[in-house]
Each structure stands twice: as C-alpha cells, then as structure tokens.
Amino acid sequence: TGRILLPLAEEGYEIVGIDSSSGMLKRLREKLHKLPESVQERINIIQTVLIYP
C-alpha cells in the first residue's frame, strides 16, 4: 500500500516497490495518482514473488 515507500519517495528517494499481491499494488497505484508527478516519477512498481533460497 506504500506505507514505507511513499514517505521515502516524497523525501526525494528513487524507490522500487515490490509485492506479490495485485490488490495491494492497486491500492498503491490509487494513492500515487494523488501525488505530484515529480514524486510519481521516482517510484517503480513490480509485481513478483521474492524467494530467499
């Protein structure tokens, strides 16, 4: 949902958000539309499953 990602992007960091849940990423995208374009440009979203061997 961007709980950690959004504040970091607003502070100027370039961020990659990764989640396996399409529902959570949908909620994040809804929040992104409310932010300035300059913040949106710093965020990349990827839907995948990360598995630690």
Domain boundaries, the chain: 5-47
Cα torsion through 30, 36, 38, 44, rounded to 10: -10
Each residue's pLDDT expressed in tens, for the chain with a length of 53 residues:
899 999 999 999 999 999 999 999 999 999 999 999 999 999 999 999 988 87
The pLDDT value recorded for residue 1 is 83
Quote the pLDDT of residue 6: 95
**Residue whose structure tokens are 């979203």:** 45
Question: What does pTM read for this prediction?
Answer: 0.80
